[in-house]
Structure 1
Amino acid sequence: MIKADILNILRSKSTVLTFKEILIASGEKRPDLLRRRLNYYVQQGELYSIRRGLYAKNKNYDRLELATKILIPAYVSFETVLAEAGVIFQYYKTIFVATYKTREIECDGQPYSFRQIKDDILMNPAGVENKGNYLAATKERAFLDVLYLNKGYYCDNLSALDFEKVNKLLPIYNNKRMVQKVKQYFEKFQEEL
């Protein structure tokens, strides 16, 4: 990998790059040599090493993009999406991510909470949007993800949800308890109108 290769990689739209992405983009055949070169670019200040195997162009990388590259496959969901959509009013510094295993990680002072969801739910693209450099659940999908993992959950603003979309996404989870819970939330929403 020569200097021009790293500059081409840095021109990509991604703010966070995995070692594997750089390996493929560079065409380098020897991973050990690429690691040494990446370490050199980190020392020269041309790359920023976030954690092992994850690099950024600089310290101003997209934290949500990083969240979906620490564990793959993954998408931003749960309280992160619900708070942004105004469904809950509680502020969380933590970024919540749906993935294949549960783990808590702090990276560059930013806490990340990875929550395990069954593979058939995780891999279903319904209600998951491409935000450019990362995937994120719609507010309806995030609502259902939260209900899937929590038996009792309080939502501050149910009017922010489209219950028609919620009901369309509900079969993904194949869960009778969730059907009852969504029905209760919908009844509560109707009472508030």
Structure 2
Amino acid sequence: MKNFKLIGITLLTLIVFSSCSDDHSHDHGANEEELITTVVTTLTSGNQTITLTSKDLDGNGPNPPVVTPSVDLTPNTTYTGSVTFLNESVSPAIDLTKEIKEEGEEHQLFFQAAPSIGSFTYTDTDAKGRPIGLAFTLRTAASPTTGTITVVLKHEPNKSASGVAGGSMTNAGGATDASVTYNVVLK
């Protein structure tokens, strides 16, 4: 019984201290990290629109993210893509995409997929002409296959490092703000 009380007090203390942070939501000079609970990746080609979603409403809590199950993509097709980032832990939800775009010099998305799935091209840039990745194209490969697409949002990557502007995370550095993996089928 003593152990349960000790655990309860410890948990209560952790909750109180973690919830007692300064609120800088109205301080535009502060650039603290926002909570990203939801990542929506949209792919469009002709009349086909595919929406891939990952929701992790409890953040680093015990529940795993809910990710769109496997989706079908058409081989040898160019999709126009976009990524949206939301904080749905509050009501109404906060769309963080505009902030990421405005702070484009401090953010870059990276898309990872095997060549057998396809290749990505950035179609948006920051004020210095370097890629952001909120808008992109995906050119799917010609042969039917299965695999994954991973979308990673980096904060303060080294955009001038070798390969980073072309979409390689190898030399990017920075902190990972969000990382989502979607299962896809080319058929």
TM-score range, shorter chain: under 0.3
Higher share in strand? 2
Higher share in helix? 1
Bigger relative CO (Cα 8 Å, ≥ 6 apart): 2
**TM-score normalised according to structure 1 size:** 0.25
